[in-house]
């Protein structure tokens, strides 16, 4: 199997690691606009060598694992360059604009719009880990727009990697993911900002912060280059989730300000069941 | 050594586990308003038996590890009942009101006001784990109000358990901890609430949520019975942190709404250094 990975960072690199396990003979080439990352990906054995133009035409699988603004630009070019039987898939955190962009492309049926719900707050080839996708959900959008044989190849791959598949339309994906992923990142970034602004003496953060704070601001380590275009493409949904979140915080503030501690208690009690809901989430194994 | 633990939950129980490691001969008795927890604490070997009135008088160490509203009520009674050389310490997440409450008590010099920055989102004796306090910071307030020999006994204990000590006044403690702990809990609870409200079909949360969301809402599993009195006692500081947090969220919303993506990028980039700050935080080992 010949595979081209465009963007050899956390996602592309982890995909390469798992691919080598399930298809030991795979030839993996890669591309990255960051020359250092590309070189490092070869050194780490994630890819065999940098990809050349011909590799796209001969590829069985092309994975685009780059920020969603790059995806919007490069996906059409990649579809222009592939062979008739090449599967092209992405791993972008937004789906609607990307699906619209290639809706009329003559190779649309070679493309499978994917969002594997997997990752960490780290970036680059060094962050690539084995087993990142195992037990994780992969959301596939507009599956009916992809040729059946191409779908089949993708599903075989995902199955061997241990991923669970869920089908959605791109608009529903973007709406739901705004809540369970994009909003979490903003809440975490703004929590980090609030504390950094207040605690000018950083030793105080260092000494007083516990694992609870660390867990809540973990996502504030995420890459702005990756997240800015996600918020841009999913702006409308993200604004809606933010308004609801801010409204809930103001509501809690009001209860506390007026001394309604029964109300404060109830707000927390009603949210406790998030624990049961979360028990179903596959956890990171590494 | 004779030790009485009042409140045999996560903190009291974990303290008992570590105490047995560093003082294998210690006699540990316990009290809890929850009879099931008390029984379970004996079964788990956290305590040797339920404490009796006489145990307080003969105790070398009494730990009050109960919610901060209970602490306000019981601390004076405990100080009334102890022997002349007994060390009494607490583990409350607020310090100012508790210190004020016992300021004039004739046994004030037997009390050491403590806040070990350690815990998980779970509660009860089953949640007690070994090594919870190792490498963690223990904030001691108003140390000058505690008799020297009593301090010494506490420091020996904390030292053997591997805790780092930091001294603060109660007001500074409450102000700082509002940022690095109390606000995180509210941000997490309200994030959980926002998502639960929106995602009526919980299967959607289950399927789409990744480890990022899980990490950000982890604290929303925390006990309302423990947290309501914390917010009540630290109301003024918590309101201030909430206002700043809501203000930052509104600022981010404004940047996104007006399409200022450079601004969105900058907000995240400036907060990324939380990663370096957090690298200093001792992580949970279990």
The confidence score (pLDDT) of residue A199 equals 73
The confidence score (pLDDT) of residue A204 equals 66
Q: What is the pLDDT of residues B18-54, one digit of tens each?
A: 999 999 999 999 999 999 999 999 999 999 999 998 9
Query: Cβ distance A274 to B189 under 8 Å?
Result: no
Q: Is A204 on the interface with B (CB under 8 A)?
A: yes
Chain A contact set for B210 (CB, 8 A) = 117-119, 136, 180-181, 281
Kindly tell me if the per-residue pLDDT of A104 is higher than 90: yes
Q: Hey, how many other C-beta atoms are within 10 angstroms of the C-beta on A144?
A: 8
Q: What's the CATH number where B114 sits?
A: 3.40.50.720
The confidence score (pLDDT) of residue A276 equals 82
Instruction: Tell me, yes or no, whether B86 and B28 share the same domain.
Output: yes
> Of A219, A280, A232, nearest to A92 (Cα)?
A232
Q: Is A103 on the interface with B (CB under 8 A)?
A: no
Do the Cβ atoms of B216 and A221 come within 8 Å? Answer: no
Query: Mean per-residue pLDDT for B109-130?
Result: 94
Instruction: Tell me, yes or no, whether A189 and A164 share the same domain.
Output: no
Instruction: Tell me, yes or no, whether A141 and A187 share the same domain.
Output: no
Average pLDDT, chain A: 93
Last residue of a domain, one of A169, A192, A218: A169
**Signed CA dihedral, A198, B270, A183, B205: sign only:** negative
Minimal CA separation from A127 to chain B, in Å: 15
pLDDT level of residue B204 (50, 70, 90 thresholds) = low
Kindly tell me if the per-residue pLDDT of A283 is higher than 50: no
Chain A contact set for B236 (CB, 8 A) = none
Instruction: Tell me, yes or no, whether B198 and B57 share the same domain.
Output: no
Query: Cβ distance B151 to B112 under 8 Å?
Result: yes
Query: Cβ distance B141 to B90 under 8 Å?
Result: no
Kindly tell me if the per-residue pLDDT of B254 is higher than 60: yes
Q: Is A280 on the interface with B (CB under 8 A)?
A: yes
**Radius of gyration over every alpha carbon of chain A, rounded to an integer in angstroms:** 21
Query: Mean per-residue pLDDT for A118-129?
Result: 92
Question: Which member of B181, B189, B229 has the closest CB to residue A271?
Answer: B189
Which residue has better confidence, B83 or A202?
A: B83
Q: Is B19 on the interface with A (CB under 8 A)?
A: no
Q: What's the CATH number where A269 sits?
A: 1.10.3660.10
Kindly tell me if the per-residue pLDDT of B230 is higher than 70: yes
Number of domains observed in the structure of chain A: 2
Instruction: Tell me, yes or no, whether A50 and A185 share the same domain.
Output: no
Kindly tell me if the per-residue pLDDT of B187 is higher than 90: yes
Q: What is the pLDDT of residues A131-161, one digit of tens each?
A: 999 999 999 999 999 999 999 999 999 999 9
Domain with B123 in it: 2-169
The CA–CA distances, whole Å, from B257 to A39, A223, A231, A243 equal: 39, 21, 10, 11
SS3 B81: helix
Instruction: Tell me, yes or no, whether B65 and B185 share the same domain.
Output: no
Last residue of a domain, one of B138, B153, B169: B169
Question: Which member of A176, A183, A239 has the closest CB to residue B204?
Answer: A176
B286, part of any domain? no
> Of A59, A55, A63, nearest to A13 (Cα)?
A63
Question: Which member of B208, B215, B249 has the closest CB to residue A215?
Answer: B215
**Radius of gyration over every alpha carbon of chain B, rounded to an integer in angstroms:** 21
Kindly tell me if the per-residue pLDDT of B272 is higher than 60: yes
pLDDT level of residue A30 (50, 70, 90 thresholds) = very high
Instruction: Tell me, yes or no, whether A28 and A160 share the same domain.
Output: yes
Ramachandran region of residue B248, left (φ > 0), alpha (ψ -120 to 50) or beta? alpha
A285, part of any domain? no
The confidence score (pLDDT) of residue B201 equals 67
The C-alpha atoms of residue A229 and residue A67 are separated, in whole angstroms, by 7
Chain B contact set for A220 (CB, 8 A) = 268, 271-272, 274-275
Q: What is the pLDDT of residues A182-239, one digit of tens each?
A: 999 999 999 999 998 887 766 666 678 888 898 999 999 999 999 999 999 999 999 9
Do the Cβ atoms of A220 and B272 come within 8 Å? Answer: yes
Q: Enumerate the β-bridge partners of residue A42.
A: none
Do the Cβ atoms of B281 and A188 come within 8 Å? Answer: no
Query: Cβ distance A147 to A175 under 8 Å?
Result: no
Do the Cβ atoms of A228 and B265 come within 8 Å? Answer: yes
Q: Is B47 on the interface with A (CB under 8 A)?
A: no
Minimal CA separation from B99 to chain A, in Å: 19
In this prediction the ipTM stands at: 0.91
Q: Is A57 on the interface with B (CB under 8 A)?
A: no
Do the Cβ atoms of B209 and A235 come within 8 Å? Answer: no
Chain B contact set for A116 (CB, 8 A) = none
The confidence score (pLDDT) of residue B203 equals 67
Minimal CA separation from B57 to chain A, in Å: 33
Interface residue of A175, A268, A277 to substitute, partner B, most B CBs within 10 Å: A268
Instruction: Tell me, yes or no, whether A191 and A270 share the same domain.
Output: yes
Q: What is the dihedral of CA A244, B195, A120, A185, to 10 degrees?
A: 10
φ, ψ (nearest 5 deg) of residue B12: -60, -45
**Own/partner pairs for B201-207, CB < 8 Å, 24+ apart?**
B202/A277, B204/A176, B204/A180, B205/A180, B205/A277, B206/A277, B206/A280, B206/A281, B207/A137, B207/A164, B207/A166
B118, part of any domain? yes
Chain B contact set for A188 (CB, 8 A) = 216
Instruction: Tell me, yes or no, whether B178 and B143 share the same domain.
Output: no
Query: Cβ distance B182 to B238 under 8 Å?
Result: yes
Kindly tell me if the per-residue pLDDT of B251 is higher than 50: yes
> Of B92, B63, B57, nearest to B5 (Cα)?
B63
The confidence score (pLDDT) of residue A202 equals 64
Query: Mean per-residue pLDDT for A166-173?
Result: 95
Please give the full DSSP string across B14-26, using - where no structure is assigned: HHHHHHHHH-TT-
The C-alpha atoms of residue B90 and residue A144 are separated, in whole angstroms, by 62
The C-alpha atoms of residue B234 and residue B174 are separated, in whole angstroms, by 7
φ, ψ (nearest 5 deg) of residue A240: -65, -45
Instruction: Tell me, yes or no, whether A65 and A133 share the same domain.
Output: yes
Chain A contact set for B132 (CB, 8 A) = none
Query: Cβ distance A119 to A91 under 8 Å?
Result: no
Query: Cβ distance A219 to A184 under 8 Å?
Result: yes
The confidence score (pLDDT) of residue A280 equals 60
Q: Are strands A137-141 and B61-64 parallel, antiparallel or unpaired?
A: unpaired
Kindly tell me if the per-residue pLDDT of B202 is higher than 80: no
Q: Is B127 on the interface with A (CB under 8 A)?
A: no
Do the Cβ atoms of A245 and B248 come within 8 Å? Answer: no
The CA–CA distances, whole Å, from B124 to A103, A248, B18, B28 equal: 55, 29, 16, 17
Instruction: Tell me, yes or no, whether A198 and A92 share the same domain.
Output: no
Instruction: Tell me, yes or no, whether A146 and A211 share the same domain.
Output: no
């Amino acid at each position: 199997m010949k595979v081209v990975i465009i963007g050899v960072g956390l996602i592309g690199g982890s995909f390469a690691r798992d691919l080598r396990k399930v298809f030991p003979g795979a030839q993996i080439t890669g591309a990255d606009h960051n020359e250092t990352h590309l070189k490092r990906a070869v050194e780490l054995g994630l890819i065999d060598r940098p990809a050349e133009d011909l590799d796209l035409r001969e590829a069985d699988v092309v994975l685009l694992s780059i920020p969603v603004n790059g995806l919007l630009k490069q996906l059409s070019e990649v579809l222009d360059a592939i062979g008739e039987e090449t599967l092209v898939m992405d791993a972008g955190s937004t789906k609607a604009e990307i699906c619209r962009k290639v809706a009329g492309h003559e190779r649309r049926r070679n493309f499978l719009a994917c969002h594997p719900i997997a990752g960490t707050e780290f970036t680059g080839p060094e962050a690539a880990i084995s087993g990142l996708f195992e037990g994780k959900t992969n959301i596939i959008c507009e599956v009916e727009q992809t040729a059946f044989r191409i779908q089949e190849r993708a599903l075989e791959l995902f199955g061997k990697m241990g991923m669970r598949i869920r089908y959605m339309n791109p608009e529903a994906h973007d709406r739901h993911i705004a809540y369970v992923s994009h909003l979490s990142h903003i809440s975490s970034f703004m929590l980090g900002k609030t504390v950094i602004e207040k605690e000018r003496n950083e030793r105080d953060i260092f000494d007083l912060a516990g694992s609870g704070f660390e867990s809540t601001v973990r996502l504030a380590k995420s890459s702005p280059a990756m997240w800015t275009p996600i918020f841009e493409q999913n702006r409308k949904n993200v604004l809606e989730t933010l308004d609801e979140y801010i409204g809930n915080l103001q509501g809690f503030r009001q209860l506390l300000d007026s001394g309604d501690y029964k109300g404060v208690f109830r707000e927390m009690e009603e949210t406790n069941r998030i624990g049961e809901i979360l028990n179903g989430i596959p956890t990171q194994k590494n």
